[in-house]
């Protein structure tokens, strides 16, 4: 075993050459750092017992891991994992799992932070005679200037979490020796921007401007009953108990809970959606794929534009707005926790700052008619 300068990468890059005897080929492990750090790493890996497991690369195990992942996790989580590994593989695919070190993750993190996310162009759809969404070159260029952004640290952390799952699988399920798990960014740097929810007056406006049919019913499930996107999209007829006016929801961690149907209009929409269907049939089936729909983001955005809502509208915003709207309506936090099916009441309590903002706005209306300063100004 020895340390030698890398022949092409330049200063700060080294080859750590690991010998496996006369008949086995030597391994060349690339290391980035000082010569002292490279030699320290060489001494460290000397202590790893030489066996065939130490010669396994990330790419060698990925297909088996993804098969396990697909079987044991939710479909949407598996799709996210596959997308994450498309970004991870160019940097980590040829790394030996036993020799992974924190320095191996840094090039990936740096490259992702520098990546720009450019919005997709709105093209004309030939299947629609009056498609008003198509953009001109000038409109698209202007929108790119406004909406282009860098990949966030929170997104990178989520991708690294999928790689951590891969290493845990290697270690716990396959009993392989693994190196360092990736260290992400401090939580203070991963915090998403503050949530912006729909005002009480915007909720019925969004629903009434949503397309009639499955889009409106799914929107009501998320906005009036607080269902998560996947829970609403994969609802089956047997999950609706009209006799007891309830929904039977299997949520996170396969936990099944029963919640009341909040509004009469949602009940009527669900009755219509279930007409002619068997108990095990999905209520909202895509006729092209014969699978449940996966998203209604575009129709939500279109409905928001028609309603004059100048906010970023997305699927999970519906659930945020449901919880906040309930608290604004005077529902106790403990009851709202049950309706939203939060495991920890602190999650529900986190929405109370929206209530404070709402009351502050309402207090401003009182101030506008009761302010002494205003009266003095009018008298003068």
| Per-residue three-class SS string for 2-71 | EEEECCCCCCCEEEEEECCCCCCCCEEEEEECCHHHHHHHHHHHHCCCCCHHHHCEHHHHHHHHHHHHHH
The CATH class for the domain spanning 58-115+151-190 reads mainly alpha
Dihedral over alpha carbons 51, 55, 57, 62 (to 10 degrees) = -40
Distance (Å, rounded) from C-alpha 284 to C-alpha 288? 12
Task: Write out the chain's pLDDT in tens, 380 residues.
Answer: 588 898 888 888 888 887 766 666 777 888 888 888 888 777 776 665 455 556 789 999 999 999 999 998 888 889 999 999 999 999 999 998 988 988 899 999 999 999 998 888 776 555 555 556 677 888 888 888 878 888 989 899 999 999 999 999 999 988 898 999 998 887 766 665 556 788 888 999 999 999 888 999 999 999 999 999 989 999 999 999 999 999 999 877 778 889 999 999 999 999 999 999 999 999 999 988 888 998 898 899 999 999 999 888 888 899 999 999 888 888 898 999 999 999 888 888 888 777 766 666 666 666 666 666 554 454 44
Element (H, E) at 258: strand 256-260
Among 3, 85, 79, CA closest to 41: 3
The reported pTM is 0.59
Distance (Å, rounded) from C-alpha 88 to C-alpha 160? 8
Would you say the C-alpha torsion 267, 273, 276, 280 has a positive or negative sign?
negative
Q: State whether CATH 1.10.3210.10 applies to domain 202-366.
A: no
């Amino acid at each position: 075993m020895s340390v030698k300068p890398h022949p092409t990468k330049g200063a700060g890059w080294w080859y750590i050459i690991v010998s496996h005897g006369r008949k086995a080929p030597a391994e060349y492990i690339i290391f980035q750092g000082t010569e002292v750090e490279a030699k320290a790493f060489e001494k460290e890996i000397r202590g790893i017992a030489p066996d065939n497991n130490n010669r396994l690369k990330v790419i060698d195990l990925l297909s088996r891991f993804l098969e396990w992942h697909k079987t044991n996790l939710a479909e949407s989580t598996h799709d996210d994992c596959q997308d994450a590994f498309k970004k991870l593989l160019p940097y980590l695919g040829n790394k030996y799992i036993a020799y992974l070190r924190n320095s191996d993750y840094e090039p990936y993190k740096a490259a992702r932070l520098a990546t720009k996310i450019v919005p997709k162009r709105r093209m004309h759809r030939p299947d629609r005679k009056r498609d008003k969404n198509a953009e001109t070159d000038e409109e698209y260029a202007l929108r790119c200037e406004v909406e282009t952004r860098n990949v966030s640290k929170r997104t990178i952390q989520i991708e690294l979490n999928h790689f951590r799952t891969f290493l845990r699988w290697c270690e716990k399920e396959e009993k392989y020796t693994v190196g360092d798990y990736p260290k992400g960014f401090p939580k203070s740097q991963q915090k998403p921007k503050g949530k912006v929810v729909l005002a009480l007056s915007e909720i019925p406006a969004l629903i009434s401007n949503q397309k009639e049919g499955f889009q409106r019913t799914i929107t009501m499930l998320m906005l009036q009953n607080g269902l998560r996107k996947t829970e609403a999209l994969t609802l089956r007829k047997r999950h609706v108990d009209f006799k007891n006016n309830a929904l039977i929801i299997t949520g996170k961690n396969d936990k099944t809970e029963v919640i009341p149907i909040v509004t009469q209009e949602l009940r009527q929409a669900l009755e219509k959606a279930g007409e002619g269907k068997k108990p095990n049939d999905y209520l909202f089936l895509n006729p092209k794929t014969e699978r449940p729909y996966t998203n209604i983001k575009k129709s939500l955005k279109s409905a928001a534009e028609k309603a004059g809502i100048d906010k970023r509208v997305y699927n999970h915003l519906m659930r945020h707005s449901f919880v906040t709207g309930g608290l604004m309506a005077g529902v106790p936090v403990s009851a709202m926790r049950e309706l939203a099916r939060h495991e920890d009441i602190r999650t529900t309590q986190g929405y109370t700052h929206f209530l404070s903002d709402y009351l502050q706005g309402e207090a401003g209306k009182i101030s506008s008619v009761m302010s002494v300063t205003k009266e003095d100004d009018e008298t003068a």
